[in-house]
Amino acid sequence: MHEARTFKAQLAIAAARLKSAGFHKPGREARQLMQHVCSMSASDLIREELSEMDDKARGAFFDLVERRVSGEPFEYLTGVASFYGLDFYCTRETLIPRADSEVVVDEALARLPLGRTARVADLGTGTGCLLIALLKNQPGLSGHAVEKSSAAAAIARKNLIRHRVRSRASITIGSWEDWDGWGDVDLIISNPPYIRTGTIATLDASVRAFEPHDALDGGEDGLEAYRSIISLAAARLKEGAWLVFEIGFDQREAVTGLLEKAGFGSISCGQDHGQRDRVVAA
């Protein structure tokens, strides 16, 4: 046996590489990438540590390690991100689900009538994580996802299937402006693009370089998507329906102002895990 080719030896090389590139959990990331490449569980890998790794797997593994060193988010390398206790497929066509968005799900759940059927639409669904977290937590719910990127919509569809809620949700590929389902829903949920165009350049390098700008760029003042959704909602939503938005930490006043101007009531704001304003409901 060639000792330098064992899983253990490759892990050590990769961890050293990640460590020297400044990553904080080099051993853990190396293991997880290895498990992903070899379709192994954590315990499989422990059991196999002293076996030899074949060249093909080794090549694939170090390709991922180098992509990580170049700053690519870990979730894009494995293609999976966890959100609200569930694992979601994600690709570079979708934003990576963020823990800070979990409060959007909480706020939406709090407004849905328990034990009754209700219908919710997610505008700009991306991976579908917000909608799917709702469907998984409320059995009486049916849902609709609107997504203008067909690549992202394909990921949302895969996630609906992964979580066995595909039969409770429909998908429209297109813009919410052209969507004709507004009058049928009890709640609209959205994490729209809300970064000001001029500040995209100041985002974390890994976000800026790898995540889809279409899902981030909210126009010159970051509010374009809210303006569009709120004016359509004011014209088309049925009486008593809710709007629940994710917002940027500094957008509370601007978004609540738009909602008030459009005649919405019961406006409230909630905070994310870091106590920053993150959700507005009306």
User: Which residues lie near ligand GLN (CB under 6 A)?
Assistant: 98, 191-195, 203, 207, 216
Considering the complex, what minimum distance in angstroms separates the CB of residue 216 from ligand GLN? 4
Nearer to ligand GLN, 137 or 206 (CB): 206
40 or 203, CB closer to ligand GLN? 203
Beta-strand (E) ranges in 9-112?
80-83, 86-89
Report in angstroms how near the CB of residue 234 gets to ligand GLN at its nearest.
22
Backbone angles phi and psi of 83, in degrees to 5: -155, 130
Given a contact cutoff of 8 angstroms between Cβ atoms, the answer to whether 122 and 94 are in contact is: no
Whichever of 127 and 138 has its CB closer to ligand GLN, that residue is: 127
CA distance 52 to 45: 12
Is 128 within any annotated ligand binding site? yes
192 assigned to a ligand binding site:
yes
User: Would the annotation count 117 as a binding residue?
Assistant: no
**Least distance between ligand GLN and beta carbon 4 (Å):** 41
- The rounded distance, in Å, linking the Cα atoms of 270 and 107 is 8
Q: Is 226 annotated as a binding residue?
A: no
Looking up tokens 């409320």, which residue turns up? 138
Instruction: Give the residue carrying structure tokens 């460590």.
Output: 19
Residue closer to ligand GLN (CB basis): 77 or 130: 130
Residues in CB range of 169: below 8 A, 6 or more apart: 128, 131, 135, 142, 143, 144, 145, 160
Of the candidates 123, 136, 130, the residue with the CA atom closest to the CA atom of residue 175: 123
Residue whose entry in the numeric block shows the structure tokens 């849902």: 143
- Residue (128 or 192) nearer to ligand GLN, CB: 192
Tell the smallest beta-carbon distance from residue 146 to ligand GLN (Å).
15
Min dist. Cβ of residue 12 to ligand GLN (A): 34
| Residue ranges of the binding site for substrate | 191-194
| Residue ranges of the binding site for S-adenosyl-L-methionine | 124-128, 147, 176, 191
